[in-house]
Chains A and B, each alone.
Chain A
Amino acid sequence: DAGVIQSPRHEVTEMGQEVTLRCKPISGHDYLFWYRQTMMRGLELLIYFNNNVPIDDSGMPEDRFSAKMPNASFSTLKIQPSEPRDSAVYFCASSPPGQGSYNEQFFGPGTRLTVL
């Protein structure tokens, strides 16, 4: 079975441009998470969805960031406009239903974003 798929793997863009990161969770998983990883701040949870509905977006840094999950097999994280401080590795993860607090999250390979 394929794992979590993210695209693109690398993105280089210029400040002010719109960036869209994509994620396909593992089939049958009903939780989806977006994380950001930087040297300074470590691994931060940005937002998570359950059954395509955003549950907690308190980690989204500001209004420039938005995330959607139009169906069970696809999610996007958009940054508009992008800034150099958004440079990071962005991970998508998914989790199956019914595990309560024993949840294992399955991570994708990440998208390395560089904003010049």
Chain B
Amino acid sequence: GDSVTQMEGPVTLSEEAFLTINCTYTATGYPSLFWYVQYPGEGLQLLLKATKADDKGSNKGFEATYRKETTSFHLEKGSVQVSDSAVYFCALSPPFSGGYNKLIFGAGTRLAVHP
């Protein structure tokens, strides 16, 4: 079945470091791909998305490119801040087939950024 695999955390970085969080997926067809972020004590919120191959999603300095050939959707940011400390979830939604498709989440990767 469809699934999402993320790199295990925690990821610990110093402020202004470069961030990569790896995400790979298994799905038939062309799913839509998402990154959600969960700040401490809050619910998840959408960070960015990409709906077709080679699309790049971007928001708040984060970006991720939908790579069909490697079935990947890695999250990157050039310079992290302390305020980026959170748990990041990669997710996919299977291709639309006339009904609603559930989001399938990865396990989440905790990021801790130190001053």
Interface residues of A (CB under 8 A from B): 4, 31, 42-43, 45, 48, 50, 55-56, 91, 93, 100-110
Can you identify 19 A-B contacts, CB atoms within 8 angstroms? A31-B100, A42-B105, A42-B106, A48-B102, A50-B100, A55-B100, A91-B44, A101-B31, A101-B93, A101-B94, A101-B96, A101-B101, A102-B49, A102-B51, A103-B100, A103-B103, A107-B43, A109-B42, A110-B42
Q: List the B side residues contacting A106 at CB < 8 Å.
A: 45
Q: List the B side residues contacting A109 at CB < 8 Å.
A: 41-43
A76 to B94, CA, bound (A): 27
Q: List the B side residues contacting A105 at CB < 8 Å.
A: 44, 46, 103
Question: Which secondary structure dominates chain B's binding surface?
Answer: loop
Q: Is B89 an interface residue (CB 8 A)?
A: yes
Known contacts A101-B51, A101-B94; can you find 14 more A-B pairs with CB under 8 A? Answer: A42-B105, A42-B106, A42-B108, A43-B89, A43-B105, A45-B103, A48-B102, A50-B100, A100-B101, A101-B93, A103-B100, A105-B44, A107-B44, A110-B42
A55 to B49, CA, bound (A): 25
Question: Which range holds the interface residue count of chain B?
Answer: 20 to 34
Question: Which secondary structure dominates chain A's binding surface?
Answer: strand
Q: List the A side residues contacting B100 at CB < 8 Å.
A: 31, 48, 50, 55, 103
A109 to B46, CA, bound (A): 14
